[in-house]
Structure 1
Amino acid sequence: MTDPMFRTDAYLREAPARVVGRTPEGGIVLDATIFYPTSGGQPGDSGTLGFGAAQIAIATTVKGEDGAIVLVPETPGPLPEPGTEVTQTLDWDRRHRHMRVHTALHLLSVVIPLPVTGGQIGADKGRLDFLMPEPPADPAAIEAALNALVARDLPVTDDWITDAELAANPGLVKTMSVQPPMGQGRVRLVRIGAGADQVDLQPCGGTHVARTGEIGRVTLGKIENKGRQNRRVNILLAP
């Protein structure tokens, strides 16, 4: 099982690790990693892996078997042997944009308090699909409310509850299509705001910025009809 270092510190850009395995497809498994694997609508991280005088470009990161996180090289080639000490370096600009978009989507789910049926995170934009039979009457008001939450510079923190506590509080889960990962005894909650200023609390395993002000200005994109009951709301990071 790979230690997911990004879960305790999403701002780590570089860290040492040791190779513990290689997959038949040519992936690399480390004992601990700062690379986030594709999941929950958030893309896997990219970057580089250095060992000795060699350096491998990492195209993406995915989940493997038994809790392993697999770094996928950009091109086939010689891989470090198990036991090799390596230095992992994130493509930080891309990751940080994912963090900004991901946190902004949490705020979008506050501004539009409807069940979420899907979502996707990109480096410049993201979207949530809502159970929304009719289009919103005032998209400009949604954008203004979203940016007002960003401007409040609210803290973004996390906490953990047990599987049983989550099962007893189903209202914490906003997503209909993807359920939070359970079965390991505890579930991570992401909180935006604190005390009387708390605006959101929901299960999430992704990476987020430390304060909403770090997101920067967000613009509302197209609102698309995705079926009789669903609408897709797109957001974009301002240049």
Structure 2
Amino acid sequence: AYPELEEKQAMILKLIAVEEESFSRTIDQGTQLLDEIIAKSSGSVISGEDAFKLNDTYGFPIDLTKEIAAEHHMTVDEETFCKQMQEQKDRARAARKNAGADAWAGESNLLEGIPETEFLGYTEKAVQAKVLAIVKDGKCTQSATADDKIDLVLDKTAFYGESGGQVGDTGVIRADDVVLKVSDTTKNHAKNFIHHCQIQAGTIHVGDHVMAQPDWERRAAIMRNHTAAHLLQASLRKVLGKHVEQAGQFVNEKHVRFDFTHFAALTEKELQEVEKMVNQVIFSAIPVETRQMPIEEAKKLGAMALFGEKYGKIVRVVSVDDFSKEFCGGTHVDNTAKLGMFKILSETSAAAGVRRIEAVTGLGVYTLLNDSLKTIQQTAAALKLNSTANLSEHAEQAAAQLKQNENELEKLHAKLADQRVKQLIEGAETLKNIRVCTAKLNGTDAAGLRTMCDKVRDKAPDMVAVFAGVNGAKANIAVAVGKDALKKGVHAGKIAKAVAQLAGGNGGGKPDFAMAGAKDLTKLDFALHSVSGIVSDFIE
């Protein structure tokens, strides 16, 4: 019943494997973040905001958040979490409603009975047209005057209406003493092209005849980038395989953003191969042809259709010889040479099983090369070089020297830490056959505290170490219990919680190591002075 599943079995299996790996990474990252939230918490409830952020930003399931919270004798503010989830759904629903062809609220009713607009922008740079409708402040009107912001519908136009990932045209509409600046063009399902304008001068009336003239320099740049998207998809399919299909695109005058189905990040070699292939087609100066034809004929020619898109009986096919054939209603250059050059800016993940490439053409490449050259020259100047020759060699030498300095600094820090640990161990208090040491370490972060704890625990198995690291208005508390002290019934998690609560915080953890947060720094010294009594209560 579904032959596509069999055809794409290998691709589906790879995507499942990628999803499993991705989810595993999500769980690891989310668990680490949740541990930090618990350590910094001053109460017994994880806020709904934190739970929502874990779920929305990091993909960490709410059920896991609740389960881990319970292990620390904490709960989750589910009411706030559910409220934020609903708000997110409402925002998404509103965004979908405001997107696409019917983005203009109420347009279907307002423009009911208005004939569809004839689009002549494939071949014409300017068009004489008649005003069919004027909409101001959400209502149809017979006229509008200077400074008014209006939506204008014409019987014909050269302005392209946003669709298929290509942005709408901007430009100017004129008539005698009337000038309208067009900031965007959209279209609805009734094929009315809606020109979003502000009147610069004069008064416009329904029935007036006007000249509709898009910003052709901008349109030409958009056309270059749209044709580049077609060449990019064809190249990706040749380099990566036939499983590659368009999953979305955005084309404007500055760049092209192309999303496509693929299961892994592209290697540097693959990116170079794709980029080279696109440029070879550009440099070959191949004509770009557009034809209207029956959909069945287009399919026989091998033209690619967008998955899930609905097409009529007659479709428009854009072809670059036999290299690329696609169903497309967008605007394109008539020869690949007009793209000038193609350069990939980035390749990233857009979603599970979907990759994203951003690229530039023409003047975009020229600007990129100029900026890159400027950066190279500035780098050479920073390294006090008179020329950019052998820049990479000099940069590698500077990086190696920096690494050496960092290693020496790290060794010095380790030596100082060892000395500090030695002092703490020597000054430890003996309590019922175990030793206890405490310290407030200003400027030490959570990682630094953990390192100090590990050193003390390794050197003194009978030691209970409680360290507070102060950073700004907050403090982290770390507790380490040596293996001999563990046998006496001492529990790091319970000590961390008790000490933190004395300083307005909370936390917990495992028997041998735990972290907590303290919010009231004025009580931190008191909390540290109370450690001996707290530890004494736990010794069996």
Larger Rg: 2
CA distance change for structure 1 residues 182 and 227 in 2, over 3 Å: closer, same or farther?
closer
Quote the Cα distance in structure 2 between the aligned partners of 1:65 and 1:110.
Answer: 30
Gaps of 5+ in 1: none
Give 1:74 shift: 3.8
Paired residues of 1:223 and 1:231 also in contact (CA < 8 A):
yes
Aligned to 1:226, the other structure's residue is in SS state strand
Q: How big is each residue's C-alpha offset from its partner over 1:139-159, in whole Å with a ceiling of 9 and x where there is no partner?
A: 122211111111111111111
Aligned to 1:80, the other structure's residue is in SS state strand
Match of 1:94 among 198, 205, 218: 218
User: What is the TM-score with the length of structure 1 in the denominator?
Assistant: 0.88
Quote the Cα distance in structure 2 between the aligned partners of 1:81 and 1:206.
Answer: 30
Quote the Cα distance in structure 2 between the aligned partners of 1:124 and 1:21.
Answer: 32
Give 1:171 shift: 5.6
Match of 2:188?
Answer: 64
CA distance change for structure 1 residues 110 and 228 in 2, over 3 Å: closer, same or farther?
same
Match of 1:175 among 306, 309, 330: 306
Quote the Cα distance in structure 2 between the aligned partners of 1:145 and 1:225.
Answer: 22
Equivalences for residues 145-164 of structure 1 within 5 A: 145-164=277-296
Give 1:22 shift: 2.0
Q: How big is each residue's C-alpha offset from its partner over 1:184-237, in whole Å with a ceiling of 9 and x where there is no partner?
A: x311111112xxxx2111100000000000011111111001233111011112
Equivalences for residues 97-176 of structure 1 within 5 A: 97-113=221-237, 114-137=244-267, 138=269, 139-165=271-297, 172-176=303-307
Gaps of 5+ in 2: 1-115, 139-149, 238-243, 367-540
Report whether the alignment pairs 1:21 with 2:145.
no
Match of 2:12?
Answer: none
**Match for 1:235: what amino acid?**
A
Quote the Cα distance in structure 1 between the aligned partners of 2:295 and 2:342.
Answer: 34
Q: State the identity as a percent.
A: 25
Match of 1:215?
Answer: 339
Number of residue pairs the alignment of both structures matches: 228
Report whether the alignment pairs 1:189 with 2:320.
no
Aligned to 1:66, the other structure's residue is in SS state coil
Quote the Cα distance in structure 2 between the aligned partners of 1:36 and 1:2.
Answer: 11
Q: Which has the higher strand share?
A: 1
Match of 2:172 among 34, 48, 54: 48
Quote the Cα distance in structure 1 between the aligned partners of 2:209 and 2:351.
Answer: 51
Give 1:96 shift: 0.5
Q: Which has the higher helix share?
A: 2
Structure number with greater CO (CA < 8 Å, separation at least 6) is 1
Q: How big is each residue's C-alpha offset from its partner over 1:42-78, in whole Å with a ceiling of 9 and x where there is no partner?
A: 0000000111112010001010352211111046997
CA distance change for structure 1 residues 4 and 229 in 2, over 3 Å: closer, same or farther?
same
**Match for 1:172: what amino acid?**
A
CA distance change for structure 1 residues 76 and 62 in 2, over 3 Å: closer, same or farther?
farther
Q: How big is each residue's C-alpha offset from its partner over 1:102-152, in whole Å with a ceiling of 9 and x where there is no partner?
A: 001100011101111111102121021111111222112221111111111
Paired residues of 2:178 and 2:202 also in contact (CA < 8 A):
no
